[in-house]
Amino acid sequence: MDLNVLLSRKGWALSFLQEIDRGKFPPPEVPLDQVRQIGLHQDQQLDKFVRKLWGNIKGATPEEKLAEARRLHNDLRAGIGNPLRGRELFRKNCASCHRLYDEGQSIGPDLTHANRRDRDYLLVSIVDPSAVIRKEYLSYVVQTRDGRMVTGLMVEQTRNSVTILNAKNERVTCHGIRSNQSRSRPRH
């Protein structure tokens, strides 16, 4: 089962964490972005498992992010890169959300006309992607009446349903939305 789906319901997420706790699945295999998603359920038992299996998963402080950006800046100045290999890295790590030169998805901003020659801006945007987010790229958390949690960009909303574009560029339409339960949060 897809990990996003597995973590979208409290009960499924708990079963999954119990399996990890029994040693059937290594914690480092679960991306931290998805571990953070578990916290959206606001459940003490789930939070306790997360602390036990992954420790403190809070994001870095502004000072730590600045230090990280400086370290990366030094790494960048230490040599020359190969754009062909860089394109492969872009396809692997970035293209599921961003477009550049007519390839990639449009979940996040199109980078083709972004301020890409400003290295500091580029570094900060990657090290701290939540620092500045345009309204159309805010991520929403939707909870259905039957307890399912879906996160992504809101692409359509009617009186009875909300359609979310998830990180895999799939449209997920949720019916039976709990009132006041669609809320925005920074994308990670």
Q: Measuring CA to CA, how many Å separate 162 from each of 55, 68, 103, 140, 179?
A: 34, 38, 28, 10, 12
Position among 63, 83, 135, 159 found at the interface with another protein (CB under 8 A):
83
Q: In 3D, which of 17, 47, 36, 49 has the Cα closest to residue 151?
A: 36
Spatial separation of the C-alpha atoms in residues 68 and 56, rounded to whole Å:
19
Residue placing its CB nearer to another protein in the complex, 5 or 131: 131
Position among 94, 138, 141, 154 found at the interface with another protein (CB under 8 A):
94
Position among 7, 13, 111, 153 found at the interface with another protein (CB under 8 A):
111
159 binds another protein, rule: CB under 8 A: no
> Least distance to another protein from the beta carbon of 99, Å?
12
Spatial separation of the C-alpha atoms in residues 3 and 6, rounded to whole Å:
5
Q: In 3D, which of 178, 151, 162 has the Cα closest to residue 37?
A: 151
Position among 13, 127, 162, 177 found at the interface with another protein (CB under 8 A):
127
12 binds another protein, rule: CB under 8 A: no
Spatial separation of the C-alpha atoms in residues 145 and 72, rounded to whole Å:
44
Tokens linked to 119: 């290295």
Residue placing its CB nearer to another protein in the complex, 111 or 150: 111
Amino acid 187 reads R
9 binds another protein, rule: CB under 8 A: no
- The distance in angstroms from the start CA to the end CA of the chain is 22
117 binds another protein, rule: CB under 8 A: yes
78 binds another protein, rule: CB under 8 A: yes
> Count of CB atoms within 10 A of residue 19's CB?
11
101 binds another protein, rule: CB under 8 A: yes
122 binds another protein, rule: CB under 8 A: yes
Binding site for another protein (CB under 8 A): 31-33, 59-60, 68, 72, 75-76, 78-87, 89-90, 93-94, 97-98, 100-101, 108, 111, 116-117, 119, 122, 125-130, 188
